A and B are shown apart, each in its own frame.
Chain A
Amino acid sequence: MRQHILPALKLTAVCIVFFCGVYTLLIWVIAQAAPAHGLGETVSVNGKVVGYALEGQSFTQDKYFWGRPSAAGYNAAGSAGSNKGPSNPDYLKDVQSRIDSFLVHNPGVKKEEIPSELVTYSGSGLDPDLSPAGARVQVRRIAAVRGLKEEKINDLVDRLTEGPLVGLFGPSKVNVEKLNIALDNLH
């Protein structure tokens, strides 16, 4: 073992310099050429930063599209899921009460129209997206609160819906923050 200690120590030191140092710096330098210079892309309205492009934020007011329930309270410095098991009775009660409260806020919507992502916690607590159905089911409420025509908002949802990757892979989605910024611009 003794003959291996010195090489082990030295090799570890070289690895520290190379992987923590050289590799990290290389990626950092490359990141400077990326769109947001590796800082995370922000979204601004009238020159003021109102969010990060990748991360969802809390929307609770009736005039906005709501995003997914968040176990982290949309804390972008503490991502987390609920970790509730599928058979947990307390959890199922919570889901039921979210369904009930959704129906109260969205008169005219039938229960079978509510997609599950609107009443279940996301994995990160920062999910920025909804399925197109998850946005459309809220259109009636928003149209009523804002005094807009439903078609106009439906068009907006269609316009901002992003299809699968190269048209083939994965689900369609729509970004809630982009939707809400566009909503505010409709007036």
Chain B
Amino acid sequence: MSTEIIGVIAMYLITVLLAIPLGRYIGKTYMGEPTWADRIFNPIDKLFYRLSGIRPEREMNWKQHLVALLTINLVWFLFSMLVLMNMSWLPLNPDGNPSMSADLAFNTTVSFVSNTNLQHYSGESGVSYLGQLVLMLFQFISAGAGMAACAVVFNAMRERTTEKLGNFYNYFVRSCTRVLLPLSIIVAVILVFNGTPMTFKGKDQFISMQGDTVHVSRGPAAAMVAIKQLGTNGGGFFGANSAQPMENPNYLTNMVEDISIVIIPMAMVFSLGYILKRKKLAWVVFGVMTVGFLLFVIPSIYYEMKGNPAIRGMGIAQHMGNMEGKEVRFGSAASAYWAVTTTVTSNGSVNAMHDSLTPLTGMFTMMGMMINSFYGGVGVGFLNFYIFIIIAVFISGLMVGRTPELLGKKIEAKEMKIATIIALLHSFLILSGTALASYLFAHDPKGYAAWLGNPGYHGFSEMLYEYSSASANNGSEFSGLSANTPFWNITDGLVMLLSRFLPIVGPLAIAGILAKKKYIPESAGTLKTDTSTFGIMTFAVIIIVAALSFFPSLALGPIAEFFSMPRP
């Protein structure tokens, strides 16, 4: 077997093996059970609470959780706008980079506050080091906020009747300090010892062997790269993200960074099993996610390793596969694997340029974002999956003529309405955004010619990908699209805002309403959720609700491009 394939299999297995104990640890952390980390973090957390005037033991109901979450996000939004629009004269700007325009600052702010990290600027020239550090702050706290929301839902799913669902700030601070911080330190240390820069000095300059003068961007990259991978953020320090050799120096760092993408989303599933004391349910959820993931990743690796059929026609060797937009040190297999891991989770960092993927790999990356819950983003990935579970419970309940119940709580019209709205919101935002952009382009192809970096079906894919990425809070792009224009900055920004907060509000509301309901103990008439039958049912719901609604648009983009190219 080729070493490229062995490499990706190893990456996957290591991720699973690490995610299981991490999930247990995260579960204990949210339940307030003792862990090894208490000795270090109890004093730190206490300091956080004391300085902020927070009483972590004060329990909140779901509405109070929501208000706390939205209020702190509003503070972050204003703070980020302020910094990004004034970086040029603020400190830590050795390269003299400019401040952002209002529309770009809006896009970037929403992008980082919403854990998306879509970047319409280039790291080397578009932000100062202060800007980078502030964006890095959001990579911690936006991930922490998503995990906190997920912890509330986990808490609400337990077998009891209550309105009290823990304290939002407590979940948030614990997610940041006890989960994200220690992992980030480990990853950042591995990176600096493999050559990733961590300095506050500005650009360097040297004369190359052929006599060219070369400027080299540097900066405090290692600290940011670690959390951008772990928090399903994806916003890179350098323009080319983790394809840039300083951001991702070798195959070892590539493995570490790629494992970092999936490990927390995967661990959250196992922490669900720990918190609910239902390991089997966690394995069913994990199984459904894994089947979906493998269905995307295997063909993607196959097509990338096989190469571009149009280039094969030119008669050259493609032993490394489709190398356009890829780096030799990673190869096609690890690049395809990364492309899928970064899109099924809402990470969005890249180690190869997605615009240059072969058509079907491009489609699988888009489908990863359209479904957005095969592992999914830290915290929010499970929230999306939760919506699918609710729908699956309801449908299967109707099919066998039983009252739909999830873990002892009746699912009724109100919960179903919320779930349906949230499930449809994602396709609505992606498809209406793409439709609007396509309409503008089709009616004035000359006026908007500068938008698309590629003609034909692929150009359409660029627009579809952009909104999929924005709505999935992913942040990767088909970067041939010139998206730093007011139209894209503003529409992307609005899509990111809605698709970040409504899919948090919905599951929180459902979980909160369910938690208040009377607990009905399991009986012979109960529909069991921790069986493979229910797993298959959930998978079917995901395929019908998420995948099929996108089929027509995928047929116009990547599928049409695939069939227009020479047969492999």
* Cα distance, A112 to B206, chains bound together (Å): 37
CB distance B356 to A20 under 8 Å? no
CB distance B251 to A78 under 8 Å? no
**Residues from chain A with Cβ under 8 Å of B245 in the complex:** 54-56, 124, 126-128
Please judge, given known A-B contacts A76-B214, A77-B124, A79-B124, whether A117 and B323 are in contact too, CB under 8 Å.
Answer: yes
CB distance A8 to B216 under 8 Å? no
B141 part of interface (Cβ distance < 8 Å): yes
**Residues from chain B with Cβ under 8 Å of A59 in the complex:** 209-210
**Residues from chain B with Cβ under 8 Å of A41 in the complex:** 195
Q: Which of B292-319 contact A (CB under 8 A)?
A: 307-308, 310-311, 314-319
* Cα distance, A145 to B322, chains bound together (Å): 31
**Residues from chain A with Cβ under 8 Å of B454 in the complex:** 83-85, 87-88, 91
CB distance A87 to B214 under 8 Å? no
CB distance B3 to A169 under 8 Å? yes
* Cα distance, A68 to B328, chains bound together (Å): 9
* Cα distance, A49 to B215, chains bound together (Å): 13
CB distance B327 to A133 under 8 Å? no
Size of interface on B: residues with Cβ below 8 Å to A: 121
Identify which of A7, A38, A122, A181 contacts B325 (C-beta below 8 A). A122
Return A125 CB to nearest CB of chain B, in Å.
7
B403 part of interface (Cβ distance < 8 Å): no
CB distance A95 to B314 under 8 Å? yes
CB distance A123 to B351 under 8 Å? yes
Which residue of A87, A95, A164 has the most chain B CB atoms within 10 A of its CB atom? A87
CB distance A11 to B201 under 8 Å? no
**Residues from chain A with Cβ under 8 Å of B369 in the complex:** none
CB distance A24 to B223 under 8 Å? yes
B198 part of interface (Cβ distance < 8 Å): yes
A60 part of interface (Cβ distance < 8 Å): yes
CB distance B307 to A80 under 8 Å? no
Identify which of B51, B204, B308, B327 contacts A122 (C-beta below 8 A). B327
CB distance B197 to A170 under 8 Å? no
**Residues from chain A with Cβ under 8 Å of B397 in the complex:** none
Return B52 CB to nearest CB of chain A, in Å.
4
* Cα distance, A4 to B122, chains bound together (Å): 35
A168 part of interface (Cβ distance < 8 Å): yes
A119 part of interface (Cβ distance < 8 Å): yes
Identify which of A5, A9, A91, A131 contacts B328 (C-beta below 8 A). A131
CB distance A84 to B201 under 8 Å? no
A57 part of interface (Cβ distance < 8 Å): yes
**Residues from chain B with Cβ under 8 Å of A55 in the complex:** 216, 245-246
CB distance A34 to B3 under 8 Å? no
CB distance B251 to A164 under 8 Å? yes
* Cα distance, A170 to B5, chains bound together (Å): 8
Identify which of B198, B246, B478 contacts A83 (C-beta below 8 A). B478
Identify which of B79, B317, B327 contacts A127 (C-beta below 8 A). B327
CB distance B4 to A85 under 8 Å? no
Return B78 CB to nearest CB of chain A, in Å.
10
CB distance A5 to B71 under 8 Å? yes
Please judge, given known A-B contacts A11-B54, A40-B216, A86-B310, whether A170 and B458 are in contact too, CB under 8 Å.
Answer: no
Q: Which 4 A-B pairs have the closest CB atoms?
A: A123-B243, A85-B458, A38-B198, A81-B353
Given contacts A27-B223, A81-B356, A120-B324, 10 further A-B contacts (CB under 8 A): A7-B169, A11-B52, A14-B47, A36-B195, A40-B199, A56-B245, A112-B316, A116-B323, A131-B319, A171-B330
A–B Cβ pairs within 8 angstroms, 14 of them: A4-B72, A10-B52, A23-B184, A35-B193, A38-B198, A57-B212, A57-B214, A59-B209, A82-B353, A84-B325, A84-B480, A85-B454, A88-B455, A126-B240
| A-binding residues in B (CB < 8 A) | 3-4, 6-7, 10, 47-48, 51-54, 67-68, 71-72, 74-76, 79, 122, 124-125, 133-134, 136-137, 140-141, 169, 172-173, 176, 181, 184-185, 188-189, 192-193, 195, 197-201, 203-204, 206-210, 212, 214-218, 220, 222-223, 226, 238-240, 243-246, 249-252, 254-255, 307-308, 310-311, 314-331, 334-335, 350-353, 355-359, 453-458, 461, 478-480, 561, 564-565
| B-binding residues in A (CB < 8 A) | 1, 4-16, 18-20, 23-24, 26-28, 30-31, 34-42, 45, 48-61, 64, 68, 72, 74-89, 91-92, 95-96, 99, 111-117, 119-131, 133-134, 164-165, 168-173, 177, 180-181, 184
